[in-house]
Structure 1
Amino acid sequence: MEEQVWQLSNPIIGIIFVVLTFALFYVVGWMSNRSSKSVEDLYAAGGGVGPITNGLAMASTYMSLATFLGITGLILNLQAPFVLLWIQMILAIPLITIIYGTSLRRMGAFSPTHFIRERYGVKASIIAALFMILVSIMYALGQMIGIAVTFETLLGIPYLTGLIVGGILIIGYVTIGGMSGATNNAAIQMVIIALMFIVPLGAIMKAMGSSGWYFPPLLYADMVPAMLEAMPTFFDYEYSTKWYFSIIPALTLGSLGLPHLAMRIYTASSLKSARQAMVWFALVLGLVFSATYAMGFAGVYFTQTQGVAISQADADKLTIILNLVYNPEWVTALVIAGAISAGLSTLSGNLLAIGALISQDIVTTLRPTLTNKMKVRLGYFSIAFGGIVSVLLGINPPDFLVVSILWAFGLAAVTNAPLILMGVWWKEANKYGAIAASIVGGGLYIVVSPFVFPSIVVSGDALTDGMGLSGSMLAVPVSFILLIVVSYITNRMPSLQKHLTTSADHQLIERIHGWNNVNPTRYNSTFGAVVITVLSAFVVVWAILPWNL
């Protein structure tokens, strides 16, 4: 196929749809945030978002531009194993529900780092916040670059123009709307994403001869015999057990540590509403994730049956390519608008997370005497600052920051997830263990990535190391071991007792679990801590051993 096939022949159609979507988001953002007067309004939408809206917004934030332009390309290359990636990401939902939807929701916090501050102290929370700012900037930068590249390659708008204009528009609508506007917009964006992905996919499958075209997320299965005839190896599991296991610490625990997803829980009006939102989140997420795999499946089927070779550089455009081949251009323009909506939903969550991390978890923590008015102003400034930094970095992005978003999941898993899990379920966890786990675990994860010291890696496979699978399999259990061992030892050192807030920590844990009394034996199992330490040590050794990919 010629190069021009991968771009709209009449980009004006796409530009019109994109302009209309931006106009809609600005109106919704302004209308939603008119009554915002406090930090709670800015970052938690006043805690009054209903379960359906919240569930849609959470799913939209969890999506990204990669759903349209990156994941299908990975499916084209990885094929069947990518199902395992999706499954592990979805397995994070029960963890998120239990931890955020029940335990931490009782605190009424804005972000996971708020819990870390209350549980482990200011120093631990600032360290965690700095790591989460890095994760959020990587996420935001990837989305910002992706939107600019979409403007450039599919709509014919120069990259720099698309980056600056698009960045300014994004920063404007997120800053104006706050969490209330971002939540309502994200819910709308989720509807756009689902419709603009699934409906055109149904038309593509129908053109390919599928009888299950009317429900692509599952009924693409009727094409399996034809796929096996065209490509008998499509469903082969070509990687080792270790490869598949490594997905758990990278993506399942990584999802738990993402600040922009956790913040959505705190917008719920009640614990019941938060739990109901998780049901809608899981339903919508499963629907679109399944459709994403179906799109990748259709793309592989297309290349095998039509004799079309899609280059590595064009693999990310697979969704657009299929629409250009099988659907009218105006449908493809709608798909592009859906892709940009996916990027915007994640970007809004990232920028709000950056704003909360900077203003609430760092500045306000260090300057607790700030007035409410100053806190709100600082919040708006921090959100805008995060967006501006993302745009500036996108002009000439550093190699270290332009990495797989899945790698960012791993960094969140290493530096955030152990602190939250052990902090909620084990009273012995203390600030010394938390600080050691974050600094050493996070530093180790960065060092063994291929982005800083290319010669220091774990598996030696570019895909596995670049996605953070091998690095997280090593660093996540190291973080758990350090948190448990350092906490256990320091809790028994008399010289450090005066620096610990043991009684307050125990009361906090009992409270977030809904107890009114403090039971010394509750959530204080030494046996459980030993089991986790031994299992973590086993995983560390397994991660160091040679990888047979």
Structure 2
Amino acid sequence: MEETYQLSNPVLGIVVVLVTFVLFYVVSYVSNRKQTTVGDLYIAGGKVGAFTNGLAMSSSYMSLATFLGITALILELQMPLIILWIQLIVAIPLITIIYGTSLRRMGVTSPTHFIRERYGVKACIIAAVFMIIVSIMYALGQMIGVAAAFETLLGVPYIAGLFVGGLIIVGYITIGGMSGATTNAAIQMVIIALMFIIPLGAIMKALGGSGWFFPPLLYSDMVPAMLEAFPSFFDYEFPTKWFIALIPAITIGALGLPHLAMRVYTSSSLRSARSAMVWYAFVTGLVFSATYAMGFVGVYATETQGLFIEAGDADRLTMILNIVYNPEWVAALVIAGAIAAGVSTLSGNLLSIGALLSQDIIATLKPELTEKAKVRMGYLAIFLGGVASILLGINPPEFLTISIFWAFGLAGVTIAPLIIMGVWWKETNRYGAIAASSIGGIVYILLSPFVAPSLVLTDHGVTNEMGISGAMFAVPLSFIILIVVSYVTNRMPSLADKLTTKEDHELIERIHGWKDVQAYRYNSKLGPVIALVLSFAVGIWALFPWGM
């Protein structure tokens, strides 16, 4: 029997959402008055404290997938998300450890800023183009979720919710810049946590769960009834290769996501950035655990309580559970929390797009632009990036997480190898960077079922669409190309005068805190050889049957 789940009194939900957006706009307006430079616009002047930045990091990472897409995957596919959570949570700590503090010491405002200084203008523009695609695809998932939330809240058609909600959000992000986005993101993280965990506890209590007072972990008393109704729920039928493939697709991919790296640069100091990382890991782990519990409860309700959810409504599971089992005012608050989750991540995505277009492409090609012109160009780029993500949301994928995780893989192929090897190996040069980013990116795009279906590596649709299988081959390929091309071209006399070897070596020593330059530092051959062997083995393994 088909059910339509919407608020019977949409006025209540409208009021709640309007109040939150008025707050976001006020914060953005106040923050905007302090922005006079590019550094203010994109990294909030590098003055954000540890607690605020930790909340903002977590908020930027939550996204609407936390409220909607991930629970849909649990409902439809019983995906092994615990392993996925581990990959996601370690992302910002790894960014901080592997390159974040080094790049912050260098004084850059984005990963592509480092690529420009390390590899030159051509490599920077290629990387920026790929990063714009990454950011737009990531933002697309948020726009899809916002439209779904507005559809539930107001009962309006999906397209109307997409354009109305999307333009409202793009407007406040454009006004506020990074300073406004950071303060708003911290506020949004509090809203997200409260409006996700507390209502989930009420749903568990309504279903008879005794662990309702701490939903992230204490749903264990509901497990026996779940196993009786759905014996195979915990039987993840995924091969070992799938779990290994999450490392290049998600962990390495996250290292290249611009909106995550920018959070490290907003910190007031390196010590503050490390402290923010601890707050981020704690809050993110708490909410991610609650997300899995929400998916579990959703399946429990469908299997033991007769709750019926149409296949096309899987993304709305969290909102449906609250509409069915909680008072409408609680459901309205949850929808506001879901919108806050999408808004917080959209902020980072759109600011990344603005920085990439205005700073890494336009300002690179036209260095004579004034600071004022660069700031104005940034505002325009942020707005256009938002409009592009709205338009792409007109014909969305089945699950909103697909575009998000596919973006992870593309970042892992085109950006992460250039930064990781560029920071830790002096031999890396511009020829290797350009070849690795270009070839790796093209191969990854071709391996997606959206472009060349005949080339995909597995018959498992979601695995392909999320970029997991493609990344397992393309990420190692990118590392191999980067290392081999750099090593060979460094030994070609005809290219010696075109390489900035001395400057590159000085840069690497400086960003690691050294005041002198020593040839032996960061110049080992053992590390690159190990990376080559591992990359070759993983890349070949990706071509073998996946067993799915």
TM-score bin (small chain): over 0.9
Matching residue of 2:368: 369
Q: How does 1:317-396 map to 2 (within 5 A)?
A: 317-395=316-394
Higher alpha-carbon deviation: 342-351 or 85-94: 85-94
Q: How does 1:134-533 map to 2 (within 5 A)?
A: 134-395=133-394, 403-533=402-532
Matching residue of 1:31: 30
Q: For 2:397 and 2:226, locate their aligned partners in 1 and report how far apart those are by CA, in whole Å.
A: 40
- For the 8 Å contact 1:202–1:216, the answer to whether it is kept is yes
- For the 8 Å contact 1:76–1:296, the answer to whether it is kept is yes
Q: For 1:161 and 1:313, locate their aligned partners in 2 and report how far apart those are by CA, in whole Å.
A: 18
- For the 8 Å contact 1:80–1:235, the answer to whether it is kept is no
- For the 8 Å contact 1:100–1:262, the answer to whether it is kept is no
Matching residue of 1:50: 49
Q: CA deviation at 1:540?
A: 0.9
Alpha carbons of 1:394 and 1:500: their partners in 2 closer, same or farther (altered >3 Å)? Answer: same
After TM superposition, the score normalised by the length of structure 1 is: 0.97
Q: For 2:216 and 2:76, locate their aligned partners in 1 and report how far apart those are by CA, in whole Å.
A: 20
Matching residue of 1:108: 107
Higher alpha-carbon deviation: 491-500 or 451-460: 451-460
Alpha carbons of 1:465 and 1:397: their partners in 2 closer, same or farther (altered >3 Å)? Answer: closer
Alpha carbons of 1:298 and 1:394: their partners in 2 closer, same or farther (altered >3 Å)? Answer: closer
Higher alpha-carbon deviation: 484-493 or 518-527: 518-527
Q: For 2:79 and 2:111, locate their aligned partners in 1 and report how far apart those are by CA, in whole Å.
A: 34
Q: For 2:282 and 2:177, locate their aligned partners in 1 and report how far apart those are by CA, in whole Å.
A: 26
One-letter amino acid of the structure 2 residue matched with residue 454 of structure 1:
P
Q: For 1:52 and 1:236, locate their aligned partners in 2 and report how far apart those are by CA, in whole Å.
A: 39
Q: For 1:294 and 1:117, locate their aligned partners in 2 and report how far apart those are by CA, in whole Å.
A: 43
Q: For 2:526 and 2:159, locate their aligned partners in 1 and report how far apart those are by CA, in whole Å.
A: 57
Matching residue of 1:3: 3
Higher alpha-carbon deviation: 426-435 or 80-89: 80-89
- For the 8 Å contact 1:30–1:177, the answer to whether it is kept is yes
Residue deviations 1:255-300, cap 9 Å, x none? 1110011111111111011111111111111111010001011111
Alpha carbons of 1:253 and 1:487: their partners in 2 closer, same or farther (altered >3 Å)? Answer: same
- For the 8 Å contact 1:29–1:173, the answer to whether it is kept is yes
Matching residue of 2:88: 89
Give unmatched runs, 5+ long, in structure 2.
Answer: none
* Secondary structure, counterpart of 1:517 in structure 2: coil
Alpha carbons of 1:100 and 1:170: their partners in 2 closer, same or farther (altered >3 Å)? Answer: farther
One-letter amino acid of the structure 2 residue matched with residue 60 of structure 1:
S
Higher alpha-carbon deviation: 184-193 or 389-398: 389-398
Higher alpha-carbon deviation: 186-195 or 508-517: 508-517
- For the 8 Å contact 1:458–1:544, the answer to whether it is kept is yes
1:79 matches 2:114: no
- For the 8 Å contact 2:397–2:403, the answer to whether it is kept is no
Q: For 2:2 and 2:15, locate their aligned partners in 1 and report how far apart those are by CA, in whole Å.
A: 25
Residue deviations 1:445-498, cap 9 Å, x none? 000100011222011221110111100000000000000000000000010111
Q: CA deviation at 1:42?
A: 0.7
Q: For 1:281 and 1:483, locate their aligned partners in 2 and report how far apart those are by CA, in whole Å.
A: 32
Q: CA deviation at 1:522?
A: 1.1
Alpha carbons of 1:462 and 1:109: their partners in 2 closer, same or farther (altered >3 Å)? Answer: same
Q: For 1:341 and 1:218, locate their aligned partners in 2 and report how far apart those are by CA, in whole Å.
A: 24
One-letter amino acid of the structure 1 residue matched with residue 541 of structure 2:
W
Higher alpha-carbon deviation: 351-360 or 508-517: 508-517
Alpha carbons of 1:60 and 1:487: their partners in 2 closer, same or farther (altered >3 Å)? Answer: same
Higher alpha-carbon deviation: 206-215 or 122-131: 206-215
- For the 8 Å contact 2:449–2:464, the answer to whether it is kept is yes
Q: CA deviation at 1:209?
A: 2.0
- For the 8 Å contact 1:358–1:382, the answer to whether it is kept is yes
One-letter amino acid of the structure 2 residue matched with residue 521 of structure 1:
Y
One-letter amino acid of the structure 1 residue matched with residue 363 of structure 2:
T
- For the 8 Å contact 1:100–1:265, the answer to whether it is kept is no
Residue deviations 1:121-174, cap 9 Å, x none? 111111000000011111222222321232124421233332332222212211
Alpha carbons of 1:462 and 1:430: their partners in 2 closer, same or farther (altered >3 Å)? Answer: same
- For the 8 Å contact 1:131–1:415, the answer to whether it is kept is yes
- For the 8 Å contact 1:72–1:296, the answer to whether it is kept is yes
* Secondary structure, counterpart of 1:519 in structure 2: coil
Q: For 2:221 and 2:157, locate their aligned partners in 1 and report how far apart those are by CA, in whole Å.
A: 42
Q: For 2:211 and 2:406, locate their aligned partners in 1 and report how far apart those are by CA, in whole Å.
A: 35
Q: For 1:187 and 1:165, locate their aligned partners in 2 and report how far apart those are by CA, in whole Å.
A: 24
One-letter amino acid of the structure 1 residue matched with residue 164 of structure 2:
V
Q: CA deviation at 1:433?
A: 0.6
* Secondary structure, counterpart of 1:63 in structure 2: helix
Alpha carbons of 1:397 and 1:293: their partners in 2 closer, same or farther (altered >3 Å)? Answer: closer
One-letter amino acid of the structure 2 residue matched with residue 129 of structure 1:
A
Q: CA deviation at 1:424?
A: 0.9
- For the 8 Å contact 1:175–1:384, the answer to whether it is kept is yes
Among all aligned residue pairs of Structure 1 and Structure 2, give the percentage whose two residues are the same amino acid.
71
Give unmatched runs, 5+ long, in structure 1.
Answer: none
Q: For 1:394 and 1:83, locate their aligned partners in 2 and report how far apart those are by CA, in whole Å.
A: 28
Segments of 4+ in structure 1 off by > 6 A?
none
* Secondary structure, counterpart of 1:234 in structure 2: coil
* Secondary structure, counterpart of 1:478 in structure 2: helix
Q: How many residues align?
A: 548
One-letter amino acid of the structure 2 residue matched with residue 538 of structure 1:
A
Matching residue of 2:543: 544
Q: CA deviation at 1:225?
A: 3.1
One-letter amino acid of the structure 1 residue matched with residue 3 of structure 2:
E
Residue deviations 1:27-55, cap 9 Å, x none? 01111221211111111111111111111
Residue deviations 1:227-253, cap 9 Å, x none? 333322222231111011111100001
Q: For 2:395 and 2:285, locate their aligned partners in 1 and report how far apart those are by CA, in whole Å.
A: 35
Q: For 1:343 and 1:533, locate their aligned partners in 2 and report how far apart those are by CA, in whole Å.
A: 38
